[in-house]
Amino acid sequence: MKYMKTGVLMMAAALAGCAQYEVLSVAGKDTNRWKLIQQGQGEQSTTSAIYSDGVSGIIYEHGKERSAFMVGIGNDPTCDDTMLVGEKHYAAEHMQQQKGGYNICWRLVTGQEAHAIATDMAKATSIMVNGREFDVRGFDALWKNLFRRQDRDAGAT
C-alpha cells in the first residue's frame, strides 16, 4: 500500500510536470529521457526513475530490499491488465480506473515482479502497455550504473 500511495503521488507529479528533480548523468550518459528522484536517507531511502510524455508515464522505484513499478496511462477509454516488456508479458497486481472527464489506468507491480520487469526493461528499447508503446531507451544505463550498483553496495544479490 505504501508503494501505491507514493507511486500515485509521484505519477501525478510526473504527469503534471511539477516534480522537483535534478537531471543527472550516469556513467557519462545523459538521462534526459528519465528523471531521477532521491527520497529519504539511509535504510528508508528510495531512488525513482520517472519517464513521462505529459499524458502517460512510467515509474520504477528502488529501495533496499524493495522495489515497485508503475505505469499510468491517461486519456484512454480502456484499461488492459497486461504489459509487454521485450518478449515477456506481465500482469498488474493492482489497477484502478478513474473518471474525471478522462480515464487514467494505473498498473502497480511490487517486489520481485517489479525487479524482474526492470531487469527486462533494461534489455528492451520499448514496452507496450494498453496498445501504447513507450520508448525506454536510456533505462539500461540507469539499471546497470545506478540501481544494480545500489544493490551491490547494500549487499543484495
- Give the three-state DSSP class for 133: strand
- Per the domain annotation, does 156 fall within a domain? no
Model confidence pLDDT, tens digit, residues 61-78? 988 778 889 888 877 777
Model confidence pLDDT, tens digit, residues 51-60? 888 888 899 9
- Per the domain annotation, does 57 fall within a domain? yes
- Let me know if 72 is exposed, middle or buried by CB neighbors in 10 A (0-12, 13-18, 19+): buried
Write out the H or E segment, with its range, that includes residue 8.
Answer: helix 2-16
Please tell me the predicted confidence (pLDDT) of residue 107: 82
What residue numbers bound the domain in which 70 lies?
Answer: 2-150
Residues with pLDDT less than 50, the chain: 1-23, 157
Contact 148, 62 (CB under 8 A): no
- Per the domain annotation, does 133 fall within a domain? yes
Cell numbers standing for residue 112: 520481485
Question: At which residue does the C-alpha cell 528492451 appear?
Answer: 124
- Per the domain annotation, does 155 fall within a domain? no
CA atoms lying within 13 Å on the CB side of residue 146: 28
The domain tally of the chain equals 1
Full-model pTM:
0.71
CB within 8 A of 41, min separation 6: which ones?
A: none
- Per the domain annotation, does 157 fall within a domain? no
